[in-house]
Amino acid sequence: MSSEAGDTGKAGIIAAPEDAVSMDKLAHSVLDDILYDLVHDMLIKVHRDEKLARANTAAIRVEQLALKSIDGLIPDQQRPDVEIETDAAVYKDGRVTLKINPLKSTKEILCPKCNLPRLLHPTDGKGAKKPDPSVIYCKRHPYIEKPGYDIYGQTWVAPGPGRGKKKKDMEKKDPNDPNSPVPGTEGSAKDRPPNVLSFPSATCSKCKRCILVTRLNNHMGSCIGNSGRNASRAAAQKISNSNGGSQNNDNTPPGSQKGTPLPGSRAASPKKRDMEDADDDAEESDASKPKKKIKLATNSLNKKVTLKAANSTKKDKAKGSSMLNVEQKVDDDDGKNSTVQVAPKKTNPKGPSPTKNKIKVAKPSQPSPAGKAKVKARDRDLESESSGALSSPPR
């Protein structure tokens, strides 16, 4: 048809001028057809995803009703022998059949795994909508697109003082400060908005001490790899020891090398340590509690991560406080942290002013009915990856 139409292809968007020569018209019509194909492919893909999700939702809903109807009478039965009908589907003989096009009958999407409704809009940032607080949604949320925040709406407190930065500086810039209900305790985990995370600590597998993650590589270098500055000191000490006791005190003042902690102990100077301890992140545990598990640290952090929907109104934008994001410049005077990225263009110009305008989302704390969701992770993965195309080509 398209070639016959002459001036334009099927999409009817790219048209040649009327006085164009036939080759010109053909070129326009080919381009127009290709445009049509592109839109067609994209549309089919989105349509398939959406329609399958709605059809499955209709099935899940009628199955739920069927299970409810035999509630408790016959335990452990997956496919009760009842007949149930909804607007969208019929449940009969353990099978679900559609009544009409699910795009017309079904408006929401239920998660095939936990059978809870899916949140269809992000809670913050681009395209955000307020979720219905009375509904418990599936925990899988649409990803958030908001400058300065990650896909879960999280942001990070800047790495704490101790690396050339003074604690006072940090506090000054703390956006919590003006609004903080209890001044003087900012920086501690309790007062931080729950979407602001701090850097965790991890246990060194050799010396079992808790090290702030940003220093883990350096620590392991000195602890395992023998490449830190302790190594050279240890070597120097070895040499001086082997030279005999008589020379020992000649060149080196006592307390300098002698006082150096043994390899495997803390590398930082006592002064630094004080400053680090002031940072509330529990980055370091003393020898008295050497086996502080990293799990603990991460778990407690996890609890804090509840979703907040900060209203990104214009008011917010106007309130230009400089939240200390991770992206902001990190001091690397010591040269060791040289990879912490500096992306000034990304720094968040609008402070999130976390204490205002926050709406609590219905907490996704409800455990998913794990007993019902039958699709096991492995099962599903293997199936989809082996029978379907591996790298999910256009479906």
Partner 1 sequence: MSSARPATPASPKNYKVKPAQQGQPMYGCEHLQKLFNQDQGTTNTSIHHYKAILRTIYDQTPLISQTAKTIDNQVVTTLTPTYLCLQCPSTVTEDDRIKHGTKKSHRFYVDSRSASLYCQMCDDMVYDPTFEDLRLKKLGTSTFSNARKRKQDELFSPDPVKDSPSYISANTTVATCKASGLRGIYNAGATCYQNVVLQSFLHNPILRNYYLSDGHSQCDTPHCLSCAMDDMFQDFYAVENTNGYTAANILSGFWISERKAFENLVTTKEQDAHEFFQFLAEELHERNGDGKKPEIGSEHSCNCIVHQTFYGKLQTQTTCQNCQGVTNQVQSFLDLSLPLENLTQKKGGKKLLGGKGTMTLQECLDEEYVKLDKCEYRCNGCNSTQQARRQTSIKRLPNVLSIQLKRFEYKQGRHERAAKIDTPVQFPLQLNMLPYTTVGRAGDTKENYELARQCTYDLMSVVVHVGEIDTGHYVSYCRVGDQWFAFNDHKVEVAQKSDVLNAKAYLLFYIVRSLA
CB of 169 to partner 1, least distance (A): 22
Of 356 and 379, which CB lies nearer to partner 1 in the complex structure? 379
CB of 242 to partner 1, least distance (A): 26
- CA distance linking residue 6 with residue 175, whole number of Å: 64
Of 2 and 252, which CB lies nearer to partner 1 in the complex structure? 2
Q: Return the closest-CA partner of residue 125 out of 285, 299, 313, 357.
A: 313
Of 129 and 206, which CB lies nearer to partner 1 in the complex structure? 206
Q: Determine the distance from the C-alpha atom of residue 295 to the mean position of all C-alpha atoms in its chain, rounded to a whole number.
A: 18
CB of 357 to partner 1, least distance (A): 22
Token pair for residue 229? Answer: 């500055």
Of 44 and 135, which CB lies nearer to partner 1 in the complex structure? 44
Of 20 and 305, which CB lies nearer to partner 1 in the complex structure? 305
Q: What is the DSSP letter of 92?
A: E
Q: Determine the distance from the C-alpha atom of residue 395 to the mean position of all C-alpha atoms in its chain, rounded to a whole number.
A: 27
CB of 60 to partner 1, least distance (A): 5
Integer CA distances (angstroms), 281 to 103, 148, 159, 204, 206, in order = 50, 22, 10, 17, 22
Of 287 and 377, which CB lies nearer to partner 1 in the complex structure? 377
CB of 184 to partner 1, least distance (A): 27
Instruction: Report the helix count and the strand count for the chain, using DSSP H and E.
Output: 11, 9
CB of 248 to partner 1, least distance (A): 31
Residues 6 or more apart in contact with residue 262 via CB below 8 angstroms: none
> How many residues are given for the chain?
395
Concatenate the DSSP letters of all residues of 121-180 into one string.
S-SSBTT--PPPTTSPPPS-PPPPB-TTS-TTS-EEPPP-TTSS--HHHHHHH-THHHH-
